[in-house]
Amino acid sequence: MKISRFLLMLIGFYFLADLAADAQTIPKEELIFLTASWEGERFADGRPKIPDDVLQRAAKINIDDAWTALKNEGYNNQFEGGWKLVNNAIPVVGRALTAMYMPSRPDVEKSIKDRGNKQGRKGNTNAWPIDMLSKGDVYVADGFGKIDGGTLIGSTLGNSIFSKSGCGVVFNGAARDLAGLREIEGFNAFVRDFHPSFLQEMVLMGLNTPVRMGKAIVLPGDLVVGNEEGVLFIPAHLAEQVISIAEFVTMKDEFGFEMVKSGKYTTGQIDSQWTEEIKLHFLKWLEQHPELGKMTKAKLDEMMNRRTW
């Protein structure tokens, strides 16, 4: 008996739809499509895997400089401020692992939890993203700004997050047990507020999906850079470029401060296109300050010509 092409297509459609329904995540192919500009290594789920050495460099940059570099590339919706922090002195830097929560609806929540149980997922849905974390991940969750009953973590889950990722969290929502979270050495959380309530009337509706954090868009794998000034979400494919520009601005500013203070050059000379004399002086000065990094003459010319800082 012959099976029509239409019937085969229909069977294939329902098979793929069933696979996609096995989790709250978007299909790997869709995530790769949305992050198509990234050409580097990826996690098994399709998330861009920014190298560890880039994460280490990102921890030292100035958010203002990185924001300017992004804006000059046309990325105007990558920063969000207005957070409360567990510890103002600890930056949060890593690759975004995202989650999207919505107000609970009994039938939907039951279906999601039943499916999760069959998949071997444990606990409430706010624990599921934590189970997926790996070293260098920042748990980024859109909890639709809920405070009372919107506490996505307390000290127990905070310890679990930090043990798995070595990083903190960014929540458009709340957290509880501030005193306990502060006892986790090296941990930080960016939240809208702290509240003593337990999580209620919220359900996970998206895992490793694009999310909105206030005025910012975040994709899985984005570089997250957060400090007391706010949080910047840098698209993975721009991470290296943005960090290089921010590093150069730091070098340039340190050099400029010293030169102007000593009277070697004027502010006008430092803030305009450099002469060959200033460029060579800068490169020699940089050799005496290895803590700021290295730079070739060709890279310096590229940065001066770019003028995106």
Does residue 211 sit within a domain?
yes
Whether residues 179 and 268 share a domain: the answer is: no
| Pair 190, 249 in one domain | no
Distance between CA 45 and CA 58 in Å, rounded?
Answer: 24
Residue 130 lies in a domain: yes
Q: Which of 51, 80, 49 minimizes the C-alpha distance to 221?
A: 49
Domain final residue, candidates 234, 252, 285 = 234
pLDDT of residue 147: 98
pLDDT of residue 22: 46
Residues 134 and 117 in one domain: yes
Q: Is residue 39 part of a domain?
A: no
Same domain, 224 and 138: yes
CB atoms within 10 A of CB 125: 21
Q: In the listed set 184, 218, 234, which residue is the last one of a domain according to the structure?
A: 234
**pLDDT tens digits in sequence order for the chain, 309 residues long:** 444 443 334 334 333 333 333 446 789 999 999 999 999 999 999 999 999 999 999 999 999 999 999 999 999 999 999 999 999 999 999 999 999 999 999 999 999 999 999 989 888 999 999 999 999 999 999 999 999 999 999 999 999 999 999 999 999 999 999 999 999 999 999 999 999 999 999 999 999 999 999 999 999 999 999 999 999 999 999 999 999 999 999 999 999 999 999 999 999 999 999 999 999 999 999 999 998 888 999 999 998 887 655
- On whether residue 47 sits in a domain, the answer given is no
Residue 274 and residue 225 share a domain: no
Look at residue 307 in the predicted model and tell me its pLDDT.
62
Pairing type for strands 174-175 and 151-153 reads parallel
Contacts of 16 (CB under 8 A, 6+ apart): none
Beta bridge partners of 227: 230
Do 134 and 251 lie in a common domain? Answer: no
Which of 210, 234, 258 finishes a domain? 234
Query: Scanning the structure block, which residue is given the tokens 């444990």?
Result: 122
Radius of gyration of the chain, Cα coordinates, nearest whole angstrom:
23
pLDDT confidence of residue 18: 38
Domain count across the chain: 2
Strand, coil or helix: 240: helix
100 and 72 part of one domain: yes
171 in the same domain as 62: yes
* Residue 10 covered by a domain: no
Look at residue 201 and give its three-state secondary structure: coil
Q: Let me know if residue 297 belongs to a domain.
A: yes
Strands 211-213 and 169-172: unpaired
DSSP state of 170: E
Q: What is the DSSP-derived secondary structure letter of residue 248? A: H
Whichever domain contains 79, its CATH number is: 3.50.30.40
**Residues facing 217 on adjacent strands:** 212
Domain that holds residue 162: 52-234
